[in-house]
Chains A and B, each alone.
Chain A
Amino acid sequence: MIRFDGVTKAFGPVTAVDALDLTVHDHELCILVGPSGSGKSTMLRMINRLIEPSAGAVTLDGKDVTSLRPETLRRSIGYVIQNVGLFPHLTVAANIATVPELLGWSRARISGRVTEMLQLVGMEPSRYAGRYPSELSGGEAQRIGVARALASDPPVVLMDEPFSAVDPVNRLRLQDEFLSIQRALKKTVVFVTHDVDEAIRLADRIAVVRSGRLVQYDTPEQILENPADPFVAAFVGADRALKRLSRFLVRPYMHPAVSATIDADLDRQLRTPGVPRYLWITETDGTLLGSLDTTLAARCGEARACVSEENIHEMAVRPDSSLKEALSRMIGTSARSVPVVDERFRLLGEISLSDVEVASEKPAQVPRAGA
């Protein structure tokens, strides 16, 4: 547990952090978010004493951080920064080995750990261990940065805008990978970003910071639903209702689809009274083929010819997609309902606009997307 107790930091006449009280719970991913210059990086750097507070105390598991030698303290805390800060004259393996070496681990233990870490971040050890940072892409370098921070298995990890310098596509990938690592390792993470979407995507708890003060500290759902003041409301954006949907998964809201199999029996099925207007059409093995407007089918000579296949790939979502994505696909394809498919594109069910409405009216504290 990390606690800030009345922590203030002044740089000359400028107060960067003003009487901060904040508790980061164990195994939680806490994101400090705020505009640039709001003091969030200063807060982070006071945890590992790269900056010393002017007043108040930061405690780690009940112990004042200033009671430890800064080096001892820092070796027990993982640290990832925006510009990665890999040592250009050392190989990837030597970079990852930095903290274990400082801790005096045996050579065998270090090399085993390096291999483990490379696998953890999804990089083939035999290919990457001997490379130099200049031979890595931006995304690869940042993965090594994460591997290096986790190498000594520290209980606490500090991350200062770790994915900001990466292009948007890779940033999403890195965020997903980091989330799955975090779900497995359950570190206590303090993460600084100015990107609200990133905070909402990743955080267990968000601390919104403004001018060195903590404005609101709560779960992403609560912050989106009940912003504490107009600043938070403006900062999370006018689309906060939509952002909130990104925290919900399709799976609990989907329901069985009304569908028909494309076989000799199709025409007979369509003639049965009470058939719904729209039907999902699948192959005999369940693979989604398209949709069918049954009122038009009467005018077609053969029902098979009337199956619309054109938009089907833009419509389909997966059970672990977010409701935000489902809604986006509904709007994009002008459909009130979209199919839910598995990885082999077999129809699992459907989700409709009314399901999304149900979810958006639900209170916070529901399982978040990807959890």
Chain B
Amino acid sequence: MRDRPVTPAPAGVDLRAVVFSAIGILSALALPFVRVRPNRVADGVLQLIVQLDPLAAAGLALVWLAAAVCAVAPLAAQVRRRVTVAASLLVPFLTILYAGVVCRRLGGHDPIVRISLSTGFWITMLASYAAYVSSAAGQPAADLTEGHGERRGSILLRRLPVVAVPVVVAGLLLSGLLDPVSVLRELAAQKKVFLAETGTHAALAGAAVLIGGVIGVAIGVRALRHAVFRRVAFFIVNIVQTIPSLALFGLLILPLAALSARFPLLHAWGISGIGRAPALIALSFYAMLPIARNTYTGLEQIPASIRDAGAGMGMTRGQLLARVEVPLALPLILAGVRTAAVQAVGNTVVTALIGAGGLGVFIFQGLGQFASDMILLGTLPVIAMAVLTDMLMGGVVRAVTPRPLREPA
């Protein structure tokens, strides 16, 4: 480790921290924090923190002020960074906690009252995230290479929110503090249906990726060996990809209904013109393309000399595929699965329209009833599911990539 100077030179004014702090103070003092509605469809009343609780507003503003002062004062970059990071982590924690307190106070006694978080809350969160990124994650790489201890600390700091945010959110949800928040009120009212539809959503998307994956990989492998097959298969899959999902459902209704009417066994299995069967077929088709294309690309980019060496040493086609081609193409194939899975989570929303269920049920019901809380009840878990899928698959891709082929972290 290189020796660090004993007294680090003070840096100039950190303009970014000042700007973010100003935004933070402004939103704490002048923007509405919550909207309170006597019931689900009534108009709401906007409330500022200052109106609710002048002390809390002053507290938040003081934390921001401290960060701003440090950004201007002649302090070492190291010290300043720590203050900004501390402030940017403290503010959201306090804000969420305070939101819980407000919700309980304003609506805890009455299950009809709906409270939504308003611009003041969201801007505060955004400002602290921006301050955090500009101080911790945004620091130049040269800073990070100062020494191993420093580097490890910084990486930890950067990964902190990935762990901390879900933990804090989950803790708050479990504590019941946020129960009066309107979305959660909606959830409480429909808990059973919500859990069932979330399960359906995940199952539909998962099954589609599984089916699309098996067929997609098969297409990709076969496309590599047969040029004619490749052209025909990718032509068809590309065409299907351009059909809007609703139109595809429509296209599937007639043939499936006819099949179901013709063969009682299919009907007994629950296959009909609407419902899960057409939904699954369409979703599988959409999942197929990225997987088929990535499988083909992943296999095709393997140098001919490697294939020649494998065949020349006496590998059968299957052995060549299993020992050489698939391991080399796997990162790209799984990247395709990642894309397909994230898309499937989103596409599954639409299948609610043909009676397949899923979280889209809440969204379309909410749209129909003009109930924004219900729309959110469908949307938020879809977003969470998509983000989680993406993170999970990202980790899987990294784990299966052979060490020498990995890009440096």
Q: In the complex, A76→B312 CA distance in Å?
A: 10
Interface membership of A360, Cβ < 8 A? no
Instruction: Enumerate chain A residues within 8 angstroms of B404, measured Cβ to Cβ.
Output: 88-89, 132-135
Instruction: Enumerate chain A residues within 8 angstroms of B392, measured Cβ to Cβ.
Output: none
Interface membership of A186, Cβ < 8 A? no
Q: A87-B324, A132-B403, A133-B404 are in contact. Are A74 and B311 (CB under 8 A)?
A: yes
Interface membership of A219, Cβ < 8 A? no
Q: Are B328 and A89 in contact (CB under 8 A)?
A: yes
Q: A86-B309, A89-B328 are in contact. Are A102 and B314 (CB under 8 A)?
A: yes
Instruction: Enumerate chain B residues within 8 angstroms of A75, measured Cβ to Cβ.
Output: 313-314
Task: For B312, give its contact among A79, A83, A87, A133 (CB under 8 Å).
Answer: A79
Q: In the complex, A158→B309 CA distance in Å?
A: 11
Interface membership of B405, Cβ < 8 A? yes
Task: For B303, give its contact among A48, A83, A149 (CB under 8 Å).
Answer: A83
Distance of B356 from chain A, by nearest CB (Å): 41
Q: Are B308 and A50 in contact (CB under 8 A)?
A: yes
Task: For A87, give its contact among B306, B311, B314 (CB under 8 Å).
Answer: B306
Q: A89-B327, A89-B328, A132-B404 are in contact. Are A102 and B315 (CB under 8 A)?
A: yes
Q: Are B313 and A98 in contact (CB under 8 A)?
A: yes
Distance of B333 from chain A, by nearest CB (Å): 14
Taking CB atoms and an 8 Å cut-off, the chain B residues in 280-333 that contact chain A are: 303, 305-306, 308-316, 319, 323-324, 327-328
Task: For A50, give its contact among B312, B328, B405 (CB under 8 Å).
Answer: B312
Distance of B146 from chain A, by nearest CB (Å): 28
Interface membership of A1, Cβ < 8 A? no
Q: Are B313 and A74 in contact (CB under 8 A)?
A: yes
Distance of A168 from chain B, by nearest CB (Å): 21
Taking CB atoms and an 8 Å cut-off, the chain A residues in 9-62 that contact chain B are: 48, 50
Q: In the complex, A48→B313 CA distance in Å?
A: 9
Taking CB atoms and an 8 Å cut-off, the chain A residues in 268-306 that contact chain B are: none
Q: A50-B308, A84-B305, A102-B319 are in contact. Are A89 and B402 (CB under 8 A)?
A: yes
Which of A81, A83, A89, A99 has the largest number of chain B CB atoms within 10 A? A89
Please, what's the 1-or-0 string for B371-409, where 1 marks a CB less than 8 Å from any CB in chain A? 000000000000000000000000000000011110000
Which chain B residue lies CB-closest to A79? B312
Interface membership of A71, Cβ < 8 A? yes
Q: Are B312 and A48 in contact (CB under 8 A)?
A: yes
Distance of B250 from chain A, by nearest CB (Å): 45
Q: Are B311 and A50 in contact (CB under 8 A)?
A: yes
Q: In the complex, A48→B309 CA distance in Å?
A: 12
Q: A132-B403, A133-B404, A134-B404 are in contact. Are A87 and B308 (CB under 8 A)?
A: no
Instruction: Enumerate chain B residues within 8 angstroms of A311, measured Cβ to Cβ.
Output: none
Interface membership of A166, Cβ < 8 A? no
Distance of A177 from chain B, by nearest CB (Å): 20
Distance of A208 from chain B, by nearest CB (Å): 25
Distance of A84 from chain B, by nearest CB (Å): 7
Which of B305, B309, B315, B405 has the largest number of chain A CB atoms within 10 A? B309
Q: Are B308 and A85 in contact (CB under 8 A)?
A: yes
Interface membership of A72, Cβ < 8 A? yes
Instruction: Enumerate chain A residues within 8 angstroms of B308, measured Cβ to Cβ.
Output: 50, 81, 85
Q: A102-B319, A135-B404 are in contact. Are A73 and B305 (CB under 8 A)?
A: no
Q: A85-B309, A89-B327 are in contact. Are A71 and B314 (CB under 8 A)?
A: yes
Q: In the complex, A354→B344 CA distance in Å?
A: 86
Q: In the complex, A75→B313 CA distance in Å?
A: 6
Q: In the complex, A154→B355 CA distance in Å?
A: 65
Q: Are B312 and A74 in contact (CB under 8 A)?
A: yes
Q: Are B306 and A88 in contact (CB under 8 A)?
A: yes
Distance of B129 from chain A, by nearest CB (Å): 39
Q: Are A99 and B405 in contact (CB under 8 A)?
A: no
Interface membership of A259, Cβ < 8 A? no
Q: In the complex, A183→B185 CA distance in Å?
A: 85
Task: For B316, give its contact among A71, A83, A84, A149 (CB under 8 Å).
Answer: A71
Q: A89-B328, A89-B404, A102-B319 are in contact. Are A81 and B314 (CB under 8 A)?
A: no
Q: Are B313 and A88 in contact (CB under 8 A)?
A: no
Instruction: Enumerate chain B residues within 8 angstroms of A211, measured Cβ to Cβ.
Output: none
Q: Are A89 and B405 in contact (CB under 8 A)?
A: yes
Interface membership of A82, Cβ < 8 A? yes
Which chain A residue lies CB-closest to B404? A132
Q: In the complex, A74→B404 CA distance in Å?
A: 28
Q: In the complex, A148→B312 CA distance in Å?
A: 12
Instruction: Enumerate chain A residues within 8 angstroms of B402, measured Cβ to Cβ.
Output: 88-89
Instruction: Enumerate chain A residues within 8 angstroms of B305, measured Cβ to Cβ.
Output: 81-85
Q: Are B309 and A81 in contact (CB under 8 A)?
A: yes
Which chain B residue lies CB-closest to A99? B313
Instruction: Enumerate chain B residues within 8 angstroms of A72, measured Cβ to Cβ.
Output: 314
Q: Are B405 and A88 in contact (CB under 8 A)?
A: yes
Q: A87-B324, A89-B327, A134-B404 are in contact. Are A79 and B309 (CB under 8 A)?
A: yes
Instruction: Enumerate chain B residues within 8 angstroms of A79, measured Cβ to Cβ.
Output: 309, 312-313
Distance of A141 from chain B, by nearest CB (Å): 11
Distance of A68 from chain B, by nearest CB (Å): 11
Instruction: Enumerate chain A residues within 8 angstroms of B314, measured Cβ to Cβ.
Output: 70-76, 99, 102
Instruction: Enumerate chain B residues within 8 angstroms of A88, measured Cβ to Cβ.
Output: 306, 328, 402, 404-405
Q: In the complex, A315→B129 CA distance in Å?
A: 76
Instruction: Enumerate chain B residues within 8 angstroms of A50, measured Cβ to Cβ.
Output: 308, 311-312
Q: Are A71 and B315 in contact (CB under 8 A)?
A: yes
Distance of A155 from chain B, by nearest CB (Å): 15
Which chain A residue lies CB-closest to B309? A85
Instruction: Enumerate chain B residues within 8 angstroms of A86, measured Cβ to Cβ.
Output: 306, 309
Taking CB atoms and an 8 Å cut-off, the chain A residues in 308-353 that contact chain B are: none
Taking CB atoms and an 8 Å cut-off, the chain A residues in 67-117 that contact chain B are: 70-76, 79, 81-89, 98-99, 102
Which of A74, A87, A158 has the largest number of chain B CB atoms within 10 A? A87
Distance of A154 from chain B, by nearest CB (Å): 10
Distance of A79 from chain B, by nearest CB (Å): 4
Q: In the complex, A74→B317 CA distance in Å?
A: 13
9 pairs from A and B in contact (CB 8 Å cutoff): A71-B316, A72-B314, A74-B313, A79-B312, A81-B305, A86-B309, A87-B309, A88-B402, A102-B319
Nearest 9 pairs of A and B residues by beta carbon: A85-B309, A75-B314, A74-B314, A83-B305, A132-B404, A89-B402, A79-B312, A85-B305, A71-B314
B positions within 8 Å CB-CB of A: 303, 305-306, 308-316, 319, 323-324, 327-328, 402-405
Additional A-B contacts beyond A98-B310, A134-B404 (12; CB < 8 A): A50-B312, A71-B314, A81-B305, A85-B303, A85-B305, A85-B306, A86-B306, A87-B309, A88-B306, A88-B404, A89-B402, A102-B313
